[in-house]
């Protein structure tokens, strides 16, 4: 039951999300070589790499969305919690850097690879996020019961036994869980929030719908470090969760808003991929712009969605993680939104 809950949180999102998140929920087996590995297939020795970024801000790489944490004189603030099973290990890593109390956990959005560890953190930290993060986490049992039976049938038809099992486990969880057991944020905001720790100001900005409709980014003003959540996949093809209110065009709006606010020398923690800078933000914006451009041209030429998806190709991004698995889904969403 407890394990199911973890797995369920990892999968508590839309149908399209499942392949991505299901992969994230499974650690790479020991010693498995990972040629052309997806960014989630980190080898055990790479789990829990901590990288100081200056000004008390650190990046922590594990098995889900990248974590950021800030060590102040009297408190630690953490951004995202990955998965429940590795959350105790995450806390242990933070403890190696500071023994100050972990007082705050910010969730950048509701996906299981960013909130799965909430259950561990809620024992000592105030969990804070945008209104829609709480709303989507609490509605997940109902959403799963509505969407998963059809998905299980599809997985059966496709002969994907692992998927059938994963989805069936989640459905079982959704039928049994009490909503009050879900470790959702207990403090939410609708636009912006600032938290003051020592002489650092931590700004949290809700952005236009991009990855989901509950996305926030976190800016550490004095340290000049920005945590983008999944509004930035660095050299990784994004997952655009349209079912959870995400939008390809919205990604442009969100990225433009961020680019208009952060200083040119800011360090940037992406939701997935390696640490980058404002240049990395701009490269990712270019990917979204190129994707929309291709979709718009196809639509203007009267091409059907099917024809567009058969031929669409953006060679400049072929070496990005997830090009084979997520690019076509991105292109389909871009076509739907193109005019
Ligand atoms: Zn996500």
pLDDT in tens, 241-273: 999 999 999 999 999 999 999 999 999 999 999
Using the mean position of ligand 1's atoms as its centre, give its distance from the Cα of residue 51 in Å: 22
As beta bridge partners, residue 193 has 204
Query: What local confidence, expressed as pLDDT, does residue 40 receive?
Result: 52
Using the mean position of ligand 1's atoms as its centre, give its distance from the Cα of residue 79 in Å: 13
HEC profile for 182-195? Answer: CCCCCEEECCEEEE
Query: What local confidence, expressed as pLDDT, does residue 45 receive?
Result: 54
Using the mean position of ligand 1's atoms as its centre, give its distance from the Cα of residue 108 in Å: 9
Query: What local confidence, expressed as pLDDT, does residue 121 receive?
Result: 98
Report, as an integer, the average pLDDT of 299-305.
Answer: 97
Using the mean position of ligand 1's atoms as its centre, give its distance from the Cα of residue 233 in Å: 10
Give the C-alpha separation, 211 to 218, whole Å.
Answer: 15
Using the mean position of ligand 1's atoms as its centre, give its distance from the Cα of residue 55 in Å: 27
Report, as an integer, the average pLDDT of 2-12.
Answer: 38
Query: What local confidence, expressed as pLDDT, does residue 130 receive?
Result: 98
Give the C-alpha separation, 126 to 331, whole Å.
Answer: 38
* Close Cβ partners of 48 (under 8 Å, ≥ 6 residues apart): 60, 61, 62, 89, 90, 93
pLDDT in tens, 95-111: 999 999 999 999 999 99
Using the mean position of ligand 1's atoms as its centre, give its distance from the Cα of residue 273 in Å: 13
Judge whether residue 20 has pLDDT over 50.
Answer: no
Using the mean position of ligand 1's atoms as its centre, give its distance from the Cα of residue 114 in Å: 7
Mean pLDDT of the chain: 89
Using the mean position of ligand 1's atoms as its centre, give its distance from the Cα of residue 2 in Å: 22
Using the mean position of ligand 1's atoms as its centre, give its distance from the Cα of residue 109 in Å: 7
* Cα–Cα nearest to 128, from 185, 167, 183, 76: 185
Using the mean position of ligand 1's atoms as its centre, give its distance from the Cα of residue 230 in Å: 5
* Cα–Cα nearest to 212, from 156, 142, 140: 140
Using the mean position of ligand 1's atoms as its centre, give its distance from the Cα of residue 213 in Å: 11
Report, as an integer, the average pLDDT of 40-57.
Answer: 79
φ and ψ of 89, to 5 deg: -65, -35
Of the pLDDT bands very low, low, confident and very high (cuts 50, 70, 90), residue 331 is very high
Using the mean position of ligand 1's atoms as its centre, give its distance from the Cα of residue 12 in Å: 11
Using the mean position of ligand 1's atoms as its centre, give its distance from the Cα of residue 126 in Å: 21
Using the mean position of ligand 1's atoms as its centre, give its distance from the Cα of residue 172 in Å: 23
**Predicted structure pTM score:** 0.86
Give the C-alpha separation, 305 to 62, whole Å.
Answer: 37
Using the mean position of ligand 1's atoms as its centre, give its distance from the Cα of residue 314 in Å: 23
Using the mean position of ligand 1's atoms as its centre, give its distance from the Cα of residue 98 in Å: 28
Report, as an integer, the average pLDDT of 195-206.
Answer: 98
Torsion of CA 238, 280, 227, 337, to 10 degrees: -40
Using the mean position of ligand 1's atoms as its centre, give its distance from the Cα of residue 17 in Å: 9
Using the mean position of ligand 1's atoms as its centre, give its distance from the Cα of residue 215 in Å: 9
Using the mean position of ligand 1's atoms as its centre, give its distance from the Cα of residue 112 in Å: 8
Report, as an integer, the average pLDDT of 37-56.
Answer: 73
Strand order in the sheet with 126-130: 49-54, 57-61, 67-71, 76-79, 102-106, 126-130, 187-189
Using the mean position of ligand 1's atoms as its centre, give its distance from the Cα of residue 73 in Å: 31
| Lowest mean pLDDT across 20-24, 158-162, 267-271 | 20-24
Intra-chain end-to-end CA distance of the chain, in Å: 47
As beta bridge partners, residue 78 has 69, 105
Of the pLDDT bands very low, low, confident and very high (cuts 50, 70, 90), residue 42 is low
Query: What local confidence, expressed as pLDDT, does residue 27 receive?
Result: 34
Query: What local confidence, expressed as pLDDT, does residue 204 receive?
Result: 98
Give the C-alpha separation, 266 to 158, whole Å.
Answer: 46
Judge whether residue 18 has pLDDT over 60.
Answer: no
pLDDT in tens, 217-247: 999 999 999 999 999 999 999 999 999 999 9
Of the pLDDT bands very low, low, confident and very high (cuts 50, 70, 90), residue 47 is confident
Q: Which helix (H) or strand (E) holds 87?
A: helix 87-97
Per the structure block, which two tokens stand in for 175? 């039928």
Judge whether residue 170 has pLDDT over 80.
Answer: yes
Torsion of CA 181, 244, 118, 113, to 10 degrees: 130
Share of the chain above pLDDT 70, in %: 86
The 10 Å Cβ neighbour count of residue 296 is: 15
């Amino acid at each position: 039951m407890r394990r199911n809950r973890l797995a369920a949180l990892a999968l508590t999102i839309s149908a399209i999300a499942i392949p991505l998140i299901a992969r994230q929920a499974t650690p790479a087996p020991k010693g498995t070589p990972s040629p052309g590995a997806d960014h989630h297939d980190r080898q055990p020795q790479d789990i829990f790499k901590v990288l100081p970024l200056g000004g008390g801000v650190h990046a922590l790489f594990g098995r889900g969305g990248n974590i950021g944490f800030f060590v102040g004189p009297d408190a630690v603030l953490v951004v995202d919690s990955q998965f429940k099973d590795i959350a105790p290990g995450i806390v242990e890593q933070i403890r190696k850097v500071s023994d100050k109390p972990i007082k705050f956990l910010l969730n950048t959005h509701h996906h299981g690879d960013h909130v799965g560890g909430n259950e561990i953190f809620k024992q000592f930290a105030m969990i804070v996020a945008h209104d829609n993060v709480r709303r989507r986490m609490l509605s997940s049992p109902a959403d799963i019961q509505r969407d998963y039976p059809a998905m299980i049938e599809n997985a059966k038809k496709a002969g994907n036994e692992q998927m059938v099992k994963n989805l069936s486990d989640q459905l079982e969880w959704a039928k049994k869980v009490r909503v009050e057991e879900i470790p959702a944020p207990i403090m939410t905001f609708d636009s912006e929030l600032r938290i003051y720790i020592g002489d650092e100001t931590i700004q949290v900005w809700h952005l236009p719908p991009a990855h989901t409709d509950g996305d926030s980014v976190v800016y550490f003003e004095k340290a000049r470090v920005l945590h983008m959540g999944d509004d930035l996949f660095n050299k990784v093809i994004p997952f655009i969760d349209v079912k959870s209110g995400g939008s390809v065009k919205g990604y442009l709006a969100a990225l433009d808003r961020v680019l208009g606010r952060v200083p040119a020398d800011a360090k940037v923690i992406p939701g997935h991929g390696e640490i980058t800078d404002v240049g990395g933000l701009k490269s990712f914006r270019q990917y979204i712009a190129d994707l929309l451009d291709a979709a718009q041209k196809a639509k203007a030429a009267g091409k059907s969605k099917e024809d567009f998806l058969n031929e669409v190709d953006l060679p400049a991004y072929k070496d990005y993680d997830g090009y084979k698995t997520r690019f076509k889904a991105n292109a389909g969403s871009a076509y739907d939104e193109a005019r």
